[in-house]
Amino acid sequence: MTPWDLAYGAARLALEPVSWAAPRLRASLDARRLHPPPELGAGKRAWIHGASVGEILSAGPVLDLLKSKGWEAALSCNTLTGLEAAGRAFPGVPAFAMPLDFSGRIQDAFEKLKPSLLILLELELWPQLLAEAERRNIPVLCVNARITEKSFRSYRRLSVLLGPSFRRVALWLPQGEEHAQRLKALGVAPDRLRVIPNLKALSAPPARPSWIPSGSPVLVAGSTHEGEEQAVLDAFQALPGWRLVLAPRHPQRFEAVAGLLRTRNLSFSQRSRPEAGDWRILLLDSLGELGAAYAAAELAFVGGSLAEVGGHNVLEPARLGVGVLVGPHTAHVEADVERLEASGGLLRVRDPAGLAGTLERLARDPATRRALGEAGFRASSGEGAGILKETLAGYFP
């Protein structure tokens, strides 16, 4: 038993009595119990791990590259929603819940999966996972690495404990220069760093879904948090002739948002309960379909930005030529927001009143909407797939 095992065991004992009151924690533990690693045969295989839905869906370019080189892959994540998204997006790829970082469970996972390469998406530094990969001489890559200023301060305070984990990553591919600089400040050697475009801008774009009727302009409010749906609905009142797709970030809030719509006496449809007939407001209470909804949009408000969350993926709508609006709180995606804003493909609003005014102005101005979307498309497109292929070529013999 390792010191990490003792620490994890103590933490689990402390959390177990209260996990019933923390649905996300309980769901994460249930995922690990119900979806263990599969037993796979020998072969050239990469174990790819991402935290949840967004990270898993960004794995498409990496999976495409692996396939082109004759490699197999297995996907792991921390949540049931991530597993469901993996099953829909990559049906031929085995997917399982990441085991808790106890040494015995991690060793068992390596024995079952038999990987030749471990790829971490964004930043998932589990100490015993990385130590076991090193013990087995399995290279570790951190692709699309992202480290916020808040996370940077935390990692720096814990550098004595986590320093070995950073050093065990053979190659870091951060999604922007500011992330590369933070990694350098945490002790990552410059020769192990190569900046790449955000993978979320490289995945194949979805087609317009049949479940969103054509003929009317569509506003998609994606990845919204508490309080943001209210602001969007207030703003939507000034958009006659438009449709609204409302997509809460977390599934456990679907019913609460449905309750908000009922309280406001608004007629709406739910994606989980397809009904015949037309609709003006659609509650997207499903998983993995936000990208498809963006494909039908004229404008997108990306949530977690009026609420003090730090923002979510703004590249997903921008790469589809959709004009993007965000609030002031975008620390988690600041580089992408700044790039789109500088290009003219994104507008920031200060508050709900600013959102309402900006949407009302854009609704009356198709030319400005079109220019906003075109600028965002240009800024979010590029030669990223070639850079990724060139950078990783040496790891796929």
> In this predicted structure, what is the pLDDT of residue 220?
98
Q: Could you give all domains of the chain from N- to C-terminal order, each with its CATH number?
A: 3-197+384-395 (3.40.50.11720), 218-380 (3.40.50.2000)
Concerning whether 55 is annotated as a catalytic residue, the answer is yes
User: How much is the pLDDT for 384?
Assistant: 59
Cβ pair 339, 379 in contact under 8 A: yes
Give the length of the chain: 397
Which of 74, 66, 27, 16 shows the shortest CA–CA distance to 48? 74
Cβ(323)–Cβ(244) below 8 Å: no
Count CB neighbours of 135 within 10 A: 10
Residue 176 is predicted with a pLDDT of 83
Q: pLDDT digit string (tens) for 57-73? A: 889 889 988 998 899 99
The one catalytic residue among 55, 72, 228, 298 = 55
- What DSSP designation does 193 have? B
Whether residue 54 contacts residue 313, with contact meaning beta carbons closer than 8 Å, is answered with: yes
Q: Is-above-0.85 flag for pTM? A: no
Distances (CA, A) of 65 to 46, 194, 222, 345, 390: 11, 17, 29, 29, 10
Model pLDDT, residue 392: 78
Q: Strand, helix or coil at 260?
A: helix
pLDDT for 52 = 87
Q: Which regions in the chain score pLDDT beneath 50?
A: none
Question: What was the pLDDT predicted at 81?
Answer: 86
Radius of gyration of the chain (CA): 22
